[in-house]
Amino acid sequence: MATRVDRAGFQSLFTGWTTSAWRLETQFVYHEPDEVEPLRRYLDGELDLDWLAEWFGRVRGWRARGRTFERVRVLSEPLTDYLRFELAITPSALDAGEDIRLLSQGVAERLALGTSDFWLFDDKTVVLMDFDDNGVCGADVITEPDEVVHYRAIRDRAWAHAVPAGEHRKTKVQRGL
């Protein structure tokens, strides 16, 4: 059984985890309000990362406390403007301590990962995200062990086949990226 949380409830989940945070990103465009202007500037040729300073600081803090922070990002074929924007941000996210891996849409489909974005906190809490035209609008929090096992299996399949983002340009032909 899932517990429904709104956007604020979703954001509060980032204060309670203690060892690991893992995310599967399956959307090819996100409509987060705080990304509208940075995305516009990126498309105009200017990459401004100032708006991410607080986030990168949080990641550095989590990592300094020994927590892992990982994600697999599924890439559309061809890439959307939004995913090109995310790939441009990725080196700074890696520098902050995120471990980001990339997976092509075709491989994700063959692995039957589904199309739901989710976080897996501490290997025991799944947060299935819902989106609308204003970004994350809510989420379902799942803690039932039998259900969590399903999402751990998705994580394991995705992680095993994804290419580390730092190696993406060197190996993109190899795994269909």
pTM above 0.85, yes or no: yes
Residue numbers of the domain that contains 58? 2-171
Choose among 79, 95, 98, 78: nearest CA to 87. Answer: 79
pLDDT tens by residue, 70-79: 999 999 999 9
The phi and psi torsions of 40 (rounded to 5 degrees) equal: -60, -45
| 134 within domain boundaries | yes
- 168 pLDDT higher than 70: no
Q: What was the pLDDT predicted at 169? A: 55
Is the Cβ–Cβ distance between 158 and 172 less than 8 Å? no
- 60 pLDDT higher than 80: yes
| 177 within domain boundaries | no
CA of 146: how far to CAs of 125, 126, 143, 152, 160, in Å?
Answer: 11, 11, 9, 10, 22
Give the CATH number of the domain where residue 126 resides.
Answer: 3.30.870.10
Average pLDDT of the segment spanning 46-75: 97
| 127 within domain boundaries | yes
Contacts 24+ apart (CB under 8 A), 44-50: 47/88, 47/89, 49/89, 49/92
- 174 pLDDT higher than 50: no
Quote the distance between the C-alpha of residue 117 and its chain's center. 8
Q: What was the pLDDT predicted at 154? A: 98
**More confident position, 110 or 133:** 110
| 104 within domain boundaries | yes
Question: How many domains in the chain?
Answer: 1
